[in-house]
């Protein structure tokens, strides 16, 4: 007998007022540079400015999904700024293929490898087993346990997306949370995980999308950074901010005598498929860390696990489909935007708008970091990086500082915006557990984000200089 089951209705989401406004203002802002002649801006620059303004309004208001704006940016660049432009007459334009190529930019390939390894780690239960093993030495003392939780979360988050790390760690932690007395201790633990995941994400190029956006933009301007090079720049900041967060959270929320049990069982998969996975993942990470010795770029290394895991059938077509394509496309849109701003002469015009060189460098860096943290608190970290990285890299041309430092700084600052439930998916998860009041998230986010921002703007440039990293 056949079942008379209806095809479920596809529901379009209701647009919020902000989204409607975003659609309207974005469309108007798109038209203005096309209709008005701006002195000092080349014809191609006008078109790029139109696309950039549209991207700002759409990404900030999320008028359409973030990844939809990203592909819209690429399409508009093809239609307005390539050899296939609908209206010519603005001088020689690059082939359309250069814009489409951003979807397979080497940084995207690097992320493809990172995502596949992260998904495999989950598929074989490696993430949970590692967490269980590494938490054991921290058992006994509640504050020490919190440190253990945060360190493991950050370590996982260096290689796995911040969101997936948070989801995994909450699955581990929910029984621990339930055993804690209601109140501050639960809040402290539930806050520690998203904070550690956000901070850990800055540690490696594959840790979170803003890193990829900065890397892609720097590579486009011939200033690529190796995997280990990125880690040397970012890990010191990561460790200090992490330790500070632990100190702050444990003082504020965890009484010394809080009982906390961390009895987790590690269950390492020893099937042949899992063993091949461990080998491939281990080899990939090792090759990433040793780039200065063998010279194979991190993107090429990132493609290695893709080939090896698919060829050995440890992972298959379903795993490819499950990869976070929306994130990859969002990054590609950011890279395309950056490339367009550089190629159209819009960057030169933007720098000319303000006499940046008249400001003291320290103040300028503080401003840069503050804007990045502020914007990424209210919009997606990746979208904030997509907008700010190309802007600040153009700005850096006229400054007495290495553009690499500026690019990395903006990417790292975009990770520090974590004062609201909407700031990042990890925060949204923590908020959804019901253990974290918004007010506590604001307090911890402002204190820890603020500490990280000051460190990043005032101390890190000298540290990088002193270590000879730039």
Partner 1 sequence: MKLALLILEDERPVREALRRDLVSFARHVRLEEAEDVPTALEVIEEIDAAGDRLALVMADHRLPGTSGVDFLIGLAADDRTATARKVLVTGQADQDDTIRAINEAGLDRYVAKPWQADALCELVRDQLTAFVVAAGVDPLPHLAVLDAERALAIVRERGDL
Q: Token pair 């923590």 is at which residue?
A: 430
Reported as half-sphere exposure (CB side, CA atoms, 13 A), residue 189 has a value of 33
Confirm or reject binding of residue 313 to partner 1 (CB under 8 A). no
* CA atoms of 161 and 297, how far apart (whole Å): 21
Residue 125, Cβ density class (10 Å: 0-12 exposed, 13-18 middle, ≥19 buried):
middle
H helices of 158-297, in order, are: 162-179, 184-200, 209-220, 227-253, 272-289, 291-294
Least distance in angstroms from the C-beta of 295 to partner 1: 30
User: Interaction with partner 1 in 97-126: which residues (CB under 8 A)?
Assistant: 115, 122
Q: Which of 208, 250, 372, 444 binds partner 1 (CB under 8 A)?
A: 208
Structure token pair of residue 272:
């042949």
Buried b (16+ CB within 10 A) or exposed e, 237-260: bbebbbebbbebbbeebbeeebeb
What minimum distance in Å lies between the beta carbon of 175 and partner 1? 10
Q: Which CB atom, from 161 or from 404, has the smaller least distance to partner 1?
A: 161
Site string for partner 1, 8-27 (x = CB under 8 A): xx----x-------------
User: Looking at beta carbons only, is 14 or 439 nearer to partner 1?
Assistant: 14
CA distance linking residue 375 with residue 388, whole number of Å: 9
Q: What is the distance between the alpha carbons of residues 107 and 216, in angstroms, rounded to a whole number?
A: 6
Using DSSP, state whether 25 is helix, strand or coil: helix
Site mask for partner 1 (CB under 8 A), range 257-296, x = bound? ----------------------------------------
Q: Which two tokens stand for residue 403?
A: 């553009």
**359-418 residues near partner 1, rule: CB under 8 A:** 380-382
Question: Quick one: which of 193, 424, 441, 456 contacts partner 1 (CB under 8 A)?
Answer: 424
Residue from 61, 77, 153, 161 in contact with partner 1 (CB under 8 A): 161
Q: Does 171 engage in binding with partner 1 (CB under 8 A)? A: yes
Which listed residue (71, 73, 152, 327) binds partner 1 by CB under 8 A? Answer: 327
**Contacting residues toward partner 1, per CB under 8 A:** 1, 3-9, 14, 66-67, 115, 122, 161-164, 167-168, 170-171, 174, 201, 208-209, 322, 324, 326-327, 330, 380-382, 424-425, 428-429, 431-434
């Amino acid at each position: 007998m056949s079942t008379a089951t209806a095809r479920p209705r596809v529901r379009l989401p209701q647009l919020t007022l902000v989204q409607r406004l975003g659609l309207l203002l974005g469309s108007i802002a798109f038209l203005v540079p096309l209709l008005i002649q701006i002195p000092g801006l080349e014809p191609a620059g006008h078109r790029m400015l139109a696309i950039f303004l549209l991207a700002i309004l759409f990404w900030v208001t999320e008028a359409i999904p973030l990844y939809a704006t990203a592909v819209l940016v690429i399409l508009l660049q093809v239609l307005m700024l390539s050899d296939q432009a609908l209206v010519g007459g603005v001088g020689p334009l690059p082939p359309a293929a250069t814009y489409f190529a951003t979807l397979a930019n080497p940084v995207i390939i690097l992320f493809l490898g990172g995502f596949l390894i992260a998904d495999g780690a989950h598929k074989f239960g490696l993430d949970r087993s590692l967490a269980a093993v590494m938490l054991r030495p921290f058992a006994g003392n509640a504050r020490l346990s919190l440190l253990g939780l945060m360190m493991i979360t950050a370590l996982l988050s260096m290689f796995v997306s911040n969101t997936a790390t948070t989801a995994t760690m909450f699955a581990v932690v929910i029984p621990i949370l339930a055993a804690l007395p209601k109140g501050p201790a639960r809040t402290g633990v539930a806050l520690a995980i998203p904070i550690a995941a956000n901070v850990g994400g800055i540690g490696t190029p594959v840790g979170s999308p803003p890193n990829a956006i900065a890397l892609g933009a720097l590579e486009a301007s011939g200033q690529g950074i190796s995997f280990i090079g990125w880690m040397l720049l970012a890990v010191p900041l990561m460790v200090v901010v992490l330790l500070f967060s632990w100190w702050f959270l444990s003082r504020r929320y965890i009484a010394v005598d809080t009982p906390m049990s961390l009895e987790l069982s590690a269950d390492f998969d020893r099937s042949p498929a899992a063993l091949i996975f461990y080998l491939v993942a281990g080899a990939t990470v090792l090759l990433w860390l040793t780039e200065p010795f063998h010279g194979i770029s991190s993107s090429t290394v990132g493609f290695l696990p893709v080939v090896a895991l698919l060829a050995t059938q440890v992972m298959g077509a379903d795993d490819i489909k499950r990869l976070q394509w929306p994130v990859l496309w969002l990054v590609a849109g950011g890279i395309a935007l950056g490339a367009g701003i550089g190629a159209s002469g819009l960057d030169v015009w933007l720098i000319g708008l303000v006499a940046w060189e008249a400001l003291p460098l320290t103040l300028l860096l503080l401003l840069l970091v503050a804007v990045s943290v502020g914007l990424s608190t209210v919009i997606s970290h990746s979208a904030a990086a997509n907008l700010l990285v190309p802007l600040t890299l153009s700005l850096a041309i006229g400054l007495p500082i290495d553009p690499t430092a500026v690019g990395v700084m903006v990417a790292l600052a975009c990770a520090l915006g974590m004062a609201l439930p909407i700031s990042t998916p990890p925060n949204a998860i923590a908020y959804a557990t019901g253990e974290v009041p918004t007010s506590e998230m604001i307090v911890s986010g402002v204190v820890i984000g603020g500490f990280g921002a000051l460190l990043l703007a005032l101390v890190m440039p000298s540290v990088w200089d002193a270590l000879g990293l730039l």
